């Protein structure tokens, strides 16, 4: 009963919702996680709403593309196939949304990754679980690239992009905001995290991300 209430309160999802309804609501909810970082070229709210709806519809369709692509290949190929399809989707988001805003790859990954995470939270048994990328924000940048002894889930990696073009530990002042990352910076970060997680007790990066994000959020209070 509690879970059903939380699904409704946070996502507006009810027991009668079909999968397409769930995907739509997760895509729209994910948009709210990045919209404050978007620099629009227009003030017309109807145009903004139209483009948002277009991207959300596209993400709903691409979810099935991702699932089918991963299911159709061998275990050895699954991560690589997921990464390629994920990149294609992010590039398409950037291409379309750049018509009305200064949209970046870093923002596209947040939209797609948060949608996929939300779907996983609701469905739990997604075939994509082991291959999902972690949604990147400053909390995760700190969890990945900090050696703060008070944060037990920190990976202490030197893979966080910096404003001067180098990589290093996380720093609020010198780290490059993830909303400004390009593809090369993004995928290198994901690969470094995936390697570190493979050597830990976690089954997948997204499993680690859930605990690490909460820990940093609590620490920053």
Residues 97 and 189 in one domain: no
Q: 129, 148, 165: which is the final residue of a domain?
A: 129
- Domain holding 181, by residue range, is 138-219
Residues 108 and 158 in one domain: no
Residues 185 and 109 in one domain: no
How confident is the model over 48-104, as pLDDT tens digits? 999 999 999 999 999 999 999 999 999 999 999 999 999 999 999 999 999 999 999
Complete DSSP assignment for the chain: -HHHHHHHHHH---TT--HHHHHHHHHHHHHHTTGGG--BS---HHHHHHHHHHHHHHHHHHHHHHHHHHHTS-HHHHHHHHHHHHHHHHHHHHHHHTTTB---HHHHHHHHHHHHHHHHHHHS--TTGGGPPPPP-HHHHHHHH---TT-TT----S-EEBTTS-EES--TTTBPPGGG--HHHHHHHHHHHHHHHHTSS-SSHHHHHHHHHHHHHHHT-
* pLDDT band, very low/low/confident/very high, at 9 (cuts 50, 70, 90): confident
How confident is the model over 176-218, as pLDDT tens digits? 999 999 999 999 999 999 999 999 888 899 999 999 999 999 9
Q: 129, 159, 189: which is the final residue of a domain?
A: 129
Asked if 167 and 158 count as a contact pair (C-beta separation under 8 A), the reply is yes
Residues 16 and 125 in one domain: yes
Residues 110 and 177 in one domain: no
pLDDT at residue 150, as a whole number: 93
How confident is the model over 95-110, as pLDDT tens digits? 999 999 999 999 999 9
Residues 107 and 204 in one domain: no
**Number of independent structural domains in the chain:** 2
Q: pTM of the prediction? A: 0.93
């Amino acid at each position: 009963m509690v879970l059903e209430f939380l699904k409704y309160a946070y996502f507006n999802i009810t027991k009668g919702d079909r999968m397409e309804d769930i995907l739509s609501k997760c895509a729209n909810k994910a948009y709210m996680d990045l919209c404050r970082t978007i620099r629009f070229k227009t003030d017309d709210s109807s145009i903004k709403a139209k483009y948002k709806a277009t991207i959300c519809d596209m993400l709903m369709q691409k979810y099935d593309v991702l699932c089918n692509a991963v299911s159709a290949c061998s275990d050895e190929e699954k991560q690589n196939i997921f990464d390629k399809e994920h990149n294609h989707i992010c590039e398409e988001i950037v291409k379309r949304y750049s018509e009305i805003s200064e949209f970046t790859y870093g923002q596209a990954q947040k939209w797609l990754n948060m949608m996929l995470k939300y779907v996983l939270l609701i469905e739990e048994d997604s075939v994509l679980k082991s291959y999902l990328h972690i949604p990147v924000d400053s909390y995760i940048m700190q969890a990945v690239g900090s050696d703060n002894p008070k944060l037990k889930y920190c990976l202490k990696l030197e893979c966080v992009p910096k404003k001067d073009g180098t990589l290093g530990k996380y720093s609020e002042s010198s780290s490059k905001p993830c909303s400004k990352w390009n593809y090369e910076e993004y995928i290198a970060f994901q690969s470094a995290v995936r390697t570190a997680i493979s050597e830990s007790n976690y089954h997948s990066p997204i499993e680690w991300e859930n605990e690490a994000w909460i820990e940093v959020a609590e620490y920053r209070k």
